[in-house]
Structure 1
Amino acid sequence: MPDTISATRDSMLVCANGHVITDRLRARPDLRRARCDRCGAPTLDRCRTCGHELPGATSVPGYETVGSYPAPLACSGC
């Protein structure tokens, strides 16, 4: 019987202008910022219309996440 791998999806924090602050917000809550350090725009981790969480990096126990996700162009919940 094969082992199963349990992957989890983190949450993303972006600014209103599309700059990714972090795609690992749940794993690294210390990276939460009220404003973008590049442009000063307010940040969000949920869709402004429906409240759906912005999907971030996928993590698998025992593996290191490499790279980062780009800011979504549209909400997957709307």
Structure 2
Amino acid sequence: MKKEDFKFDFKALERMEDNGIYFGDLNERDYHSLALFFWACSPQYTLDEILGALIGGLLPVTVAELMEQ
């Protein structure tokens, strides 16, 4: 998985922040929970790839793409 494979949905991040979720405030369990969610929506990636992307500040798909699947 390469950096250019990722898209980041800043509007989704703003909506998350409006709901009190800040990526800077996430603990290890939060990252694993988010990774499981994105993995369930994007099975073409491995769980380790998604977890690494989340920790690196990248999301594997945009929220809109997740909703289409």
Question: Shorter-chain TM-score: what band?
Answer: under 0.3
Select the structure with the greater relative contact order (CA < 8 A; seq sep ≥ 6).
Answer: 2
Name whichever structure is richer in helix by fraction. Answer: 2
| TM-score normalised according to structure 2 size | 0.24
| TM-score normalised according to structure 1 size | 0.23
In our comparison, the structure showing a higher alpha carbon Rg is 1
